[in-house]
Amino acid sequence: MLVTGEAGIGKTTLVTTAADEARRQGTLVLSGSCWDSDSVPGLWPWVQVVRALRRAATEDEWARAEEAAGDALPVLLGERPGETSGEFPLFDAVTSALVAVSQSRPVMVVLDDLHWADAASVRLLAFAAQHAWFERLLLVGTYRDVDIEGTGHPLEPLLLSLVSKATTLTLTGLTVDEVGDLITLTGVDRPAPELVAEVHRRTGGNPFFVEQTARLWHGTQTGAVPPGVRDAVRRRLEALSDDTHRLLAWAAVLGREFDAALLAAATGRADVERRLNRAIAARLIAPVGPGRYGFVHDLVRETLEDDQDRRAAHAAVARALDDDPVLAATVFPADRARHAHGGVPDYPAERAVDLLAAAARDAMSRLSTEESAAHLRRAIPLAAPERRVALLVQLGESYIHGNEVERAWAHLREAAEIARGLDSARPLARVAVTLHRHGPPRESRLTDEVVREAHRRIYGREETDTTSPLETVFRELVFQATAIARSGADEESLSVGLWAQHDMVLGLGSAAERVRLTGELTDLARAAGDRDMEWFAASMRWVALLELGDPAYLDQFRDTAALTDHSPRNQLSSRIDHTIIDTLAGRFARAGELLDGFTEDDLPDCHNMIAYMRWVWLLRQGRHGEAGAVLGEPMAGFEHPDLLAAITAAEQGRTEAALRYVRATVPRADTLFGGHLRPLWLRALAQTAALARDTELIKLARKELADHSGSWLVALYGFDVSGPVDLWLGVLDLAERRWDDAIAHLTAAADSAEAMDARPWAVDARAWLVKAYAGRGEDTTALSAQIAADAERLGMTQHSAAEPDVPQFRREGPVWSLAFGGTHVHMPDTKGLRDLHALLANPGTDIPAAHLLDPQATAAVRTVGADDMLDERAKAEYRRRLDRLDAEIDHHTALGDDARAAALDRERAALLDHLRLAAGLSGRTRRLGDEAERARKAVTARIRDTLRKLDERHPPLAAHLRAAVTTGTTCRYDGRLPWQLR
């Protein structure tokens, strides 16, 4: 319900009466009042509502409210600062808390003077109304419609949208008779009708005007009504002593509600309490809490404030707070900033800028970006030019993180313009770092110009370096600026430079340097009391330790988590970190719960990273199809979605898809994949090279990874952990059948994964170890059973044991996976296993032994007669094809297409081999019958040799195959089992 009307019309009185009646009937009534000030904390009326809820609710009700709201209520109350992650979580938390309490008794929420509310408070009211209309929750708001409608008021669209959905009660003036009744209620005998009519005419029936006029008339024994309420208030104030009047004028500067201790400190008076008691007796103020008072109507405060030298008063309040840290701790940072700003120039502008910047940080911690930006905008004109540059950069970065790119770049361009006109090169270097880090392509010219100019000035050179690559110039700039900041004890510039260095060196092999950098950043942040920077430095430190393969990363992770109690922004980041660590450790259920708790509003500037974490989570569980589905719309905006698609394809064994991408990106990898992405691309390179057994790619991958044995592949600032480098070196060894090297690397990878509490990667490493041991001819039964058990416990479907009743005969790279009768073994690749696989794939079908011997060379073999294998016509066709191949090889060699020429050369060699096979010794044409007999002997020998080896490794499977497979000129499998062959 909305109650509207002009000031003093009785909105608050009406709603208060209704609230009292509701309270008598068992309703829990909660209220909050808005205040007309630019520095009111964001969501102030809702802060009052939640405070009232905590006071009035029973212990059980408050517990239910906290459970429903999660961790958001302390943030709203200012008891736990943090940085914005979007309005939805906070709005939902407040609504959920109110709904939870309404389950035990009806709840009425009253928000008074919404015309002074911040936009977020009105949006929260709209949210609660929309999402709780069916609950036992009554939302009542009052506002001055005449101040809103048709005035261009910033809240007009929001409030009018509420009007269309609410029951609206518009209050108008009292009738003449009602004015007479109200005058009587003030304690005055009912006046004559003529006087009542005059009061009605002058006041329009406005109850506040009527009441104030009546009291004034009664106190001064005059029958005249002042021409305006302001005059009436001033006349009433004249009844107070000058000292009390002046004290109330000071109080008016403090706000609608004020603290007596602060008033005493600002005025230097010892008799504050006595003077305030006189104002209470005059019904101008009323107690609102221990040591706190409030004006009975804001028009009284406004009138008093007009009588005060506001600038001097604000300056006095600001100085009083500076002199008393204990008192200052009781005042909102926004209030301190308001007084400091209002006191300039009587109060030092530099100090006011400090307080405005602190208020901006506090606002961000309370999820109020609009308020934070407002503080910064007020600080910028007061700041000295160099400080102004830093504030403009800070404002621009805040807009970047809120995806308001145009507003951000307007401020960054202004910062660059100011910095270029300063003698010091440090401000321009600060701008250059931000432009280089965040600059969109369309701003590349500005970025290039600023970076090169800052580089010239920081080195004191006359000429700008226009020939060196921008990255080289930027790197030199950052290192020089950092050195200057360190020598000059400029901690703010030093931290900017160290972060820039951290981001510059990102990539495999830089982890030790990043551990050093983040350690220094942590120390700087701790010394400056900057909890946010301390948290992020600590977080990046565990990422670097993880990349080093140092188990101490877990201790650092826990230390980082201990810093998250005081900042919702850090709490969000901590949830991200816990999701990454839980996924890494194989705690997939817990990681899934965390993932389900994220929303797009949590990361407005990179929401696709939530989808990225889900992709990793699914991939590690072997849920490849679901992982592939995440790569669509949820990953929109990710810089290289095809890279993730290639890794997914490699995990699924889709060689061609992965190979196509990797081959296409190899020539441009240094350009495409910066330091934060390169480890992920190296994983794709190694995995695909091994899968395809591509000699050149294997060589390249080994070259990239060989020097980093013992490290881990960590990308995207820790969002991606792609396992130990030794694992991928071992996989490359497997592809080249270097069994001993593979075993050494994979054993090291498994040991590292265990030490790092990364069990899924340990399972992966041991699964590859099975293939290495099998390639060396060793029994892998026990190890395979351990892997299957570990995989089942973790939920890694890609390593689950084959179903006992489903036989398996699959090739996995250089080894075969064989399962039969509940026993699962691995064996190295042999031609006999390939022959058996072909027979199992075609049960009940006669397959010529010659086809099994060489499927590519038997197209012409149709009978087992003694005819010539090659007639003259066939020989002529062979000659023509060889001539064409020679011509094409020469053509592609001349074009420099070596890959195509090599492929044609392989075809030519194969064709010549077939000709030699058919021609026999000394060029004599061989007979088909001779070839068939040779094939029979060779294939039979291969299969028998394989069955003898199976007698040792898997006797039941060997016995089954002997009974079901026949060999000869044609071979056949007569079993009917549902073999898994791929």
| pLDDT value at residue 862 | 41
| pLDDT value at residue 814 | 81
Distant-in-sequence, close-in-space partners of 1: CB < 8 Å, separation ≥ 6: 138, 139, 140, 141, 166, 167, 168, 169
**Residue 538 pLDDT level (bands cut at 50, 70, 90):** very high
Read off the pLDDT of residues 646-695 as tens digits, 9 standing for 90 and up: 999 999 888 899 999 999 999 999 888 988 899 999 999 999 999 999 99
| Range 332-338 average pLDDT | 94
Evaluate whether 2-170 and 806-862+935-982 have a shared fold: no
| pLDDT value at residue 218 | 57
Domain 240-308: assigned CATH number: 1.10.10
Note whether 124 and 46 are within 8 A (CB). yes
Name which CATH class applies to 2-170.
Answer: alpha beta
Q: Quick one: residue 843, left, alpha or beta (phi over 0 = left, psi -120 to 50 = alpha)? A: beta
Instruction: Round the CA-based radius of gyration of the chain to a whole number and report it.
Output: 40
Phi–psi pair at 825, nearest 5 degrees = -130, 165
Among the residue ranges 119-128, 393-402, 854-863, the one predicted with the least confidence is: 854-863
Q: How far apart are CA 477 and CA 570, in angstroms?
A: 30
Q: Which of 629, 719, 728, 639 is nearest to 688 (CA)?
A: 728
DSSP character for 671?
A: H
| pLDDT value at residue 356 | 96
**Residue 859 pLDDT level (bands cut at 50, 70, 90):** very low
Task: Give SS3 for 826.
Answer: strand
Distant-in-sequence, close-in-space partners of 693: CB < 8 Å, separation ≥ 6: 735, 736, 813
**Higher-confidence position of 710 and 241:** 710
| Range 531-556 average pLDDT | 94
Task: Give SS3 for 13.
Answer: helix
Distant-in-sequence, close-in-space partners of 908: CB < 8 Å, separation ≥ 6: 882, 885, 886, 889
Q: Which of 561, 569, 609, 437 is nearest to 506 (CA)?
A: 437
| pLDDT value at residue 915 | 66
- According to CATH, the topology of domain 806-862+935-982 is Arc Repressor Mutant, subunit A (1.10.10)
Task: Please report the sign of the dihedral spanned by the C-alpha atoms of residue 936, residue 938, residue 940, residue 943.
Answer: negative
- According to CATH, the topology of domain 564-799 is 1.25.40
**Higher-confidence position of 137 and 231:** 137
Read off the pLDDT of residues 584-633 as tens digits, 9 standing for 90 and up: 999 999 999 999 988 766 665 556 788 899 999 999 999 988 888 888 76
| Range 258-274 average pLDDT | 92
pTM listed for this prediction: 0.66
**Higher-confidence position of 822 and 639:** 639
Read off the pLDDT of residues 431-466 as tens digits, 9 standing for 90 and up: 999 998 887 666 788 889 999 999 999 998 888 888
| Range 38-43 average pLDDT | 82
DSSP character for 602?
A: G
**Higher-confidence position of 313 and 821:** 313
**Residue 83 pLDDT level (bands cut at 50, 70, 90):** low
| pLDDT value at residue 541 | 97
Contacts made by residues 874-879, CB under 8 angstroms, sequence distance 24+: 878/911, 878/915
Domain boundaries, given as residue ranges, for the chain: 2-170, 176-237, 240-308, 391-493, 506-548, 564-799, 806-862+935-982, 868-926
Distant-in-sequence, close-in-space partners of 786: CB < 8 Å, separation ≥ 6: 766
| pLDDT value at residue 902 | 66
Tell me how many helices (H) and strands (E) the chain has. Answer: 49, 16
Among the residue ranges 46-50, 377-381, 818-822, the one predicted with the least confidence is: 818-822
The mean pLDDT of the chain is 86
By the 10 Å C-beta count (0-12 exposed, 13-18 middle, 19+ buried), 421 is classed as exposed
